[in-house]
């Protein structure tokens, strides 16, 4: 599939605001949200009814104080229902909280699933353009922030809005004049809230972006702590951390300051409203237009009206923080994905009874338009052959094998495996035919047994041990107190770098896949371990089509075909002996590496495949 065709699969940017997209993801929790809404409606109805009843009870007491008789039966008949109403309201509030939490956690669960799935479907270029710490921050910190704030705000916001509406209706029933006085606070509150929230939005966005930058630096420091100490760069890293930490502090402090400013401003406006209501209400009482109980009830309703208004103003700031985090999450979810692929296709490992015939046909590829990395590259590999790929940094060695395994799609040309165009195969079906040994082995947290059996979880104990013995792993594993049950962590501790590499070779061997990609990993180990790794890799390549990204020419002397790459083109090809006899670029590379020659040539990249495209 061409790059133009792949670009058609890019997910278009979201049109809807992030908060609306979040609400759309809550559809599977409709039942819980409907139940929570019913509880909120009941809670609000009871709370806006109770003050009117209490006002009537106050009028009973006021009548007795003014010389009339005290109607104890009516007084009790008013207080008992109010008590029951407040008790039921508390139970409804508890139920609403439980249902809202269930709905929000369901949203967080589905959002985590989408993010995890997306991380497997984004293009490799996405990880090249994003720091690992920022990606982790989006998938963890931002997602947790969204879940916590929605859990805190969702029910509270609906409750506040309904409480404002219900109390306003009751105030209009009791006294339209006093209601008008109370309503004067609304536009003032709205203007203050808008002015503050407009400035706070940018700081919340900066805060979460800065959080990602801090996490990225912490991750780099933790993974490279030995190098940092060896080069005495602790002060440099501390300075870098101080700059990013200061940026996070500044953005966070300003965001929280503006967020915290809303509540005091709302409280001041609410208190001013109380003063106005008390003044006008007193005049209404003296004029005989309102009873004492009516004024008391109205003041309670005014509190129920102004308090939620202030809460809504504060919640606007938190919603902005939630929106900022949600936007970062949706930026990840909207990142360009891998191109579409067929649902089914023939398995190249068994097609026509062949195993591992590979053909590159006029392949061209570029990471950026106008800057080709590979141009019109063609070659053919027979089943069982070992192909070594050598060249300087940026020559296109790793890009070539990434194209073979469809981590990238070519701009032109096609690649076939056993005569099947890999663009017509699902990526998972294609990659099930490859075993991979990287220069920096990936060891996950788990036992040695689990790490070896990663490519074949159903493997028996005997098969695991056989793969370990053939890869020179068994002897050092048995020297460990817990043997194959030894738990590995932090990328492979307590094993050495060479032992981790042998472990990854055992993993590839056990998987039994017909093709191999070997990113030679002997540059970081001692001579004895290098010999063991070379022996293990030689056994591993037996009867398998192998692609070896070579940094040390001593490891590829027995290769069936050596490809010398330069700026995305194959400039030489042949066996070790024929290339040496030709006296070309390969010969210069060989002489520079083994004789320490300074003559013109392109030294091999021993820095690691991670630096090579």
pLDDT number for residue 443: 84
Residue 134 pLDDT > 60: yes
Q: How far apart are CA 507 and CA 510, in angstroms?
A: 5
Q: Look-up: residue for tokens 């981590």?
A: 407
Which pLDDT score is estimated for 322? 85
Q: In this predicted structure, what is the pLDDT of residue 8?
A: 38
Percent helix, strand and coil across the chain, each rounded to 5? 65, 10, 25
- Tell me what pLDDT residue 534 has: 74
Of the listed ranges 256-270, 324-338, 346-360, the least confidently predicted one is 346-360
Can you give the pLDDT at residue 341? 66
Residues 6+ apart with CB under 8 A from 162: 40, 41, 44
- Whether the CB-CB separation of 397 and 565 falls below 8 Å is answered with yes
Quote the distance between the C-alpha of residue 419 and its chain's center: 38
Query: Residue 599 pLDDT more than 70?
Result: no
Nearest Cα neighbor of 391 from 507, 596, 562 is: 562
Per-residue pLDDT, 583: 87
Question: How confident is the model over 241-273, as pLDDT tens digits?
Answer: 888 888 888 888 887 777 677 667 777 777 777
Phi, psi (degrees; rounded to nearest 5) at 390? -125, 160
pLDDT of 234 over the 50 cut: yes
Q: What is the rounded average pLDDT of the residues 227-252? A: 80
User: Going by DSSP bridges, is the β-strand pair 515-519/434-437 parallel, antiparallel, or unpaired?
Assistant: parallel
Q: How far is CA 229 from CA 214, 221, 239, 526, 535, in A?
A: 20, 10, 15, 22, 34
pTM greater than 0.85 (yes/no): no
| Digit-coded pLDDT (tens) for 390-416 | 888 777 788 888 888 888 888 899 999
7 pLDDT band (50/70/90 cuts)? very low
Q: What is the pLDDT of residues 479-514, one digit of tens each?
A: 888 999 999 887 778 888 888 888 888 888 888 888
Residue 596: predicted pLDDT:
47
Cα–Cα distance for residue pair 19/134, rounded to 1 Å:
21
**Residue bearing tokens 């788990």:** 446
| 258 vs 328: which has the higher pLDDT | 328
The CB density around residue 417, as the number of other CB atoms within 10 Å, is 27
Residue length of the chain: 613
Residue 14 has pLDDT above 50, yes or no: no
CA distance 269 to 276: 11
Query: What CATH fold (topology level) applies to the domain 17-333?
Result: ABC transporter transmembrane region fold (1.20.1560)
Residue whose C-alpha is closest to residue 139's, from 303, 331, 302: 331
Residue-wise pLDDT tens digits, 579-594: 898 888 888 888 887 7
Maximum pairwise Cα distance, the chain: 125
Residue 88 confidence (pLDDT): 92
User: Rounded to whole angstroms, how far apart are CA atoms 384 and 403?
Assistant: 20
Give the whole-angstrom CA distance, residue 514 versus residue 430.
11
Instruction: Count the Cβ atoms, other than its own, within 10 Å of residue 147.
Output: 20
**Which band of pLDDT confidence, cut at 50, 70 and 90, is reported for residue 4?**
very low
Q: What CA–CA distances, in Å, run from 256 to 148, 203, 325, 367?
A: 16, 9, 15, 41
């Amino acid at each position: 599939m061409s790059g133009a065709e792949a670009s058609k699969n890019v997910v278009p940017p979201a049109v809807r605001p992030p908060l609306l997209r979040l609400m759309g993801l809550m559809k599977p929790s409709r039942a819980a949200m409907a139940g929570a809404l019913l509880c909120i409606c009941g809670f609000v109805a009871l709370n806006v009814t109770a003050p009117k009843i209490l006002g009537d009870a106050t009028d009973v007491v006021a009548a007795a104080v003014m010389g009339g008789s005290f109607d104890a039966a009516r007084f009790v008949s008013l207080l008992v229902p109010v008590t029951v109403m407040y008790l039921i309201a508390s139970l409804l509030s508890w139920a609403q909280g439980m249902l809202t939490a269930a709905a929000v956690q369901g949203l967080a669960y589905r959002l985590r699933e989408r993010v995890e799935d997306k991380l497997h479907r984004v293009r490799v270029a996405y990880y090249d353009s994003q720091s690992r710490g920022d990606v982790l921050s989006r998938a963890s910190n931002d997602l947790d922030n969204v879940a916590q704030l929605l859990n805190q705000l969702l029910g509270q916001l609906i409750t506040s809005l309904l409480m404002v509406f219900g109390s306003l209706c009751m105030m209009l029933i009791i006294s339209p004049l006093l209601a008008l006085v109370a309503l004067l606070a609304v536009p003032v509150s709205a203007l203050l809230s808008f002015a503050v929230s407009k400035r706070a939005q940018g700081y919340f966005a900066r805060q979460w972006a800065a959080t990602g930058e801090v996490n990225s630096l912490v991750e780099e420091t933790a993974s490279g702590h030995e190098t940092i100490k060896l080069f005495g760069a602790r002060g440099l890293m501390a300075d870098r951390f101080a700059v990013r930490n200061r940026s996070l502090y500044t953005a966070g402090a300003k965001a929280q300051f503006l967020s915290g400013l809303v509540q005091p401003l709302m409280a001041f406006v609410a208190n001013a409203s109380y003063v106005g209501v008390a003044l006008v209400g007193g005049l209404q009482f003296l004029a005989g237009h309102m009873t004492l109980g009516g004024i008391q009830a109205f003041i309670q309703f005014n509190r129920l009206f102004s308090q939620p208004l202030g809460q809504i103003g504060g919640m606007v700031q938190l919603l902005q923080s939630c929106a900022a985090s949600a936007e970062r999450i949706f930026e990840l979810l909207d990142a360009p994905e891998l191109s579409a692929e067929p649902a089914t296709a023939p398995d190249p490992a068994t097609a026509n009874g062949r195993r591992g015939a590979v053909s590159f046909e006029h392949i061209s590829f570029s990471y950026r338009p106008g800057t080709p990395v590979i141009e019109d590259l063609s070659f053919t590999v027979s089943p069982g052959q070992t192909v070594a790929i050598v060249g300087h940094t940026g020559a296109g060695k790793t890009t070539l094998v990434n194209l073979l395994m469809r981590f990238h799609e070519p701009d032109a040309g096609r690649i076939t495996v056993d005569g099947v165009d890999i663009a017509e195969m699902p990526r998972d079906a294609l990659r099930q035919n490859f075993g991979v040994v990287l220069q920096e082995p990936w060891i996950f947290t788990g036992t040695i047994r689990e790490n070896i059996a990663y490519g074949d979880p159903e493997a028996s104990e005997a098969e695991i041990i056989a793969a370990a013995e053939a890869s020179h792993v068994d002897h050092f594993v048995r020297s460990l107190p817990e043997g194959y049950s030894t738990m590995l962590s932090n990328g492979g501790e307590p094993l050495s770098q060479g032992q981790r590499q042998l472990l990854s070779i055992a993993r590839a061997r056990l998987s039994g896949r017909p093709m191999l990609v070997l990113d030679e990993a002997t540059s970081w180990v001692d001579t004895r371990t290098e010999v063991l790794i070379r022996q293990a890799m030689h056994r591993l390549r037996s009867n398998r089509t192998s692609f070896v990204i070579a940094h040390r020419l001593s490891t590829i002397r027995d290769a069936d075909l050596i490809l010398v790459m330069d700026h995305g083109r194959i400039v030489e090809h042949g066996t070790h002996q024929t290339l040496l006899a030709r006296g070309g670029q390969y010969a210069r590379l060989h002489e520079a590496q083994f004789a320490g020659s300074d003559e013109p040539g392109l030294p091999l990249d021993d820095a690691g495949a991670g630096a090579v495209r």
